[in-house]
A and B are shown apart, each in its own frame.
Chain A
Amino acid sequence: MFAFVGIAIVIVLGALWVYVGIRVSRRVKHTEDYLVGGRNVGIALGSATILATWVTGNTILASPESGYTYGLLGPIGYGVGGGIAVIAFGSLAHRLRDILPTGRTVGDFFRLRYDRKNYWLFLVMLLVWDIGWLLTQGMAAGIILESIFGIPYWIGVVITVAIVLAYVVIGGMVSVLSTDFMQTLLILALVCIFPVILYILLGPKHIYNGIIHFSPEKMSITEPSGVLFFAAIGVTYIGEVFMDNTFWQRAFALRPGILKKTFVFAGAGWIFVPIATGSLAFIAIGDHLKLPGGPSSAAPEVIAHYAGYVGSALFLAVLWAALASTMAALFNGVAAIIMNDIYNNTISRHANDRKVLTVGRIATVGLAIITVATALGRPNTLLSILIWLGVVNAAYLTPIVMGAFFERVSRLGAFISTIVAIICGFFVYGGGSFDLLFIQIPVFNFPSWLSGSIQSVIVSFIISLLGTLLSSIGVRARFDFNYMRTWKPYSLRTEVEGENV
């Protein structure tokens, strides 16, 4: 019975988003509208789209999981780490609009700032990262709707992808901005309501005393595992945000005068969301609630147990809004790389604006088909691949920041440092071996304190930082940022000029 209610909620919300998304898509006249929303987006739509993209289904479920696993420090670390990453990106976004005012993707920056080898290595890694993230969103939609609400897996995947595709394919970024605004309001409203009702219902003192009685270590603010999580999650998130194309598109989409302010506001706002959802896990600990689905099911189990049928239905709406908004941003973000970096900048520089726009729409449909086909196959290793891609994000943090702010950066040094950092990071991550799709690669078996996802990210970041910094000391040639400032996308040019890629 609840499966039908769940499907009804998904269809009603989906119909609203498709209606609004298609209605505003009339604004899309050029690739500039499709990729960067016309470059004049204000604070309200800008902050809402940053929040909606960054609040994923994972945020709603993984933050309570971190609260259940690491205690009080878990959701705080999750919130502060993710929020600071967005705030930090604000400074980069401000700089980007100065040095690359006509940029559309992170690929544009890397192609113009570095050389061919750096660009292609980065583009491959970027595509693996963004497509990997997109595919996991497809799988997550099916898994969450099936495990929590009893909706058959394939129905969850197909309905979610079909609805998101319907409003993204025509309107691109313009449609995403509109639907993200509605989804953000829905998420923020319900994220506030659940903890208020449940803590008033059960009594905060009762929950606190229960935690101290059953698991006092969860209230510790000096527990080593919690402190390590708190300290390292920031690097992980900053790496993700700085490399991910959806954030770069938003940096190019916002009005120049409000860039920093919008990212700071959205980042500060994001901090509260995982802490609010994470507080649901404390109810499970304090009231000694059994979690048959494991720590990742803490939030839905708490809602189902204490808030009943209506609560679960509302929780489905939040979760699905979070999933759909991230999936929409990723469809547009990956399609942007294909239409801008692969098609217009590489395959066909003479293509006119209309043709590039058509390629973007075809790419979006293709990505939707790939997402459904992959998700229906339910590959077991997809999620673990995404986790170890954090090593790649951390390795690229330094080349991105130094490339944007410094005139002297060794291109060869950045290239080698990145490769070495990624390889070393994978060795540390493996702890004996790591899964790569269908094979298992044996690696060194390091002691437990030097092995794991957080440790691998830190190792990757430090090697890339030191390698790029040290190799750039002797560099004499200064990069002329005016080369980027005067660059124009090929689809907007009447004549194609020569370039170094």
Chain B
Amino acid sequence: MNAPFWLFISVIIIAILGSLSILIVILTTFIREFRRGELW
């Protein structure tokens, strides 16, 4: 059974948005932990 177009494009969009979200979360967490002195 072949994946329909909507599934194909959804996989790619989820991967891009997921990577971007992780990047943003790591950056914001870094700033928060840096301010609190909790980086390491």
Contacts and interface: CB of A to CB of B under 8 A. Distances in A.
Interface of A: 27, 37-38, 40-45, 47-48, 51, 72, 75-76, 79, 174, 177, 181, 184-185, 188-189, 191-192, 195-196, 199, 204-205, 208, 212, 216, 219-222, 255, 265, 268-269, 271-273, 275-276, 279, 282
Given A204-B9, A279-B15, A44 B33 contact: yes
Contacts of A76: 11
A275 B11 contact: yes
A189 B5 CA distance: 26
Which 7 A-B pairs give the minimum distances between C-beta atoms?
A272-B18, A269-B22, A275-B15, A44-B30, A188-B23, A276-B15, A44-B29
Interface residues of B, number: 28
A243 B40 CA distance: 25
Contacts of A40: 40
Given A177-B40, A185-B23, A272 B30 contact: no
A194 to B, nearest CB: 9
B26 A185 contact: yes
A79 B5 CA distance: 20
A269 B18 contact: yes
A273 B16 CA distance: 8
Given A40-B40, A44-B39, A195 B26 contact: no
B40 A272 contact: no
Contacts of A184: 26
Nearest to B36: A42
Interface of B: 1-3, 5, 7-9, 11-12, 14-16, 18-20, 22-23, 25-27, 29-30, 32-34, 38-40
A41 B3 contact: no
B1 A220 contact: yes
B35 to A, nearest CB: 11
Contacts of B40: 27, 37-38, 40-42, 45, 174, 177
Given A76-B11, A216-B2, A271 B33 contact: no
Contact of A72 (B11, B22, B38): B11
Nearest to B23: A188
A219 B8 contact: yes
Contacts of A196: 16
14 contacts: A43-B29, A79-B15, A181-B30, A185-B26, A195-B12, A196-B16, A204-B5, A204-B8, A222-B1, A255-B38, A269-B26, A272-B14, A276-B16, A279-B12
Contacts of A79: 15
B33 A42 contact: yes
Contacts of B19: 188, 191-192, 269, 272-273, 276
Contacts of A268: 22
Contact of A219 (B3, B18, B22, B27): B3
Contact of B25 (A181, A265, A276): A265
B9 A192 contact: no
A279 B9 CA distance: 10
B22 to A, nearest CB: 4
B15 A195 contact: yes
A205 B9 CA distance: 9
A72 B8 contact: yes
A272 B15 contact: yes
B33 to A, nearest CB: 4
Nearest to B27: A185
Contact of B26 (A48, A72, A271): A48
B26 A204 contact: no
Give the most central of B7, B23, B33: most A CB within 10 Å.
Answer: B23
Contact of B22 (A38, A42, A188, A282): A188
B4 to A, nearest CB: 9
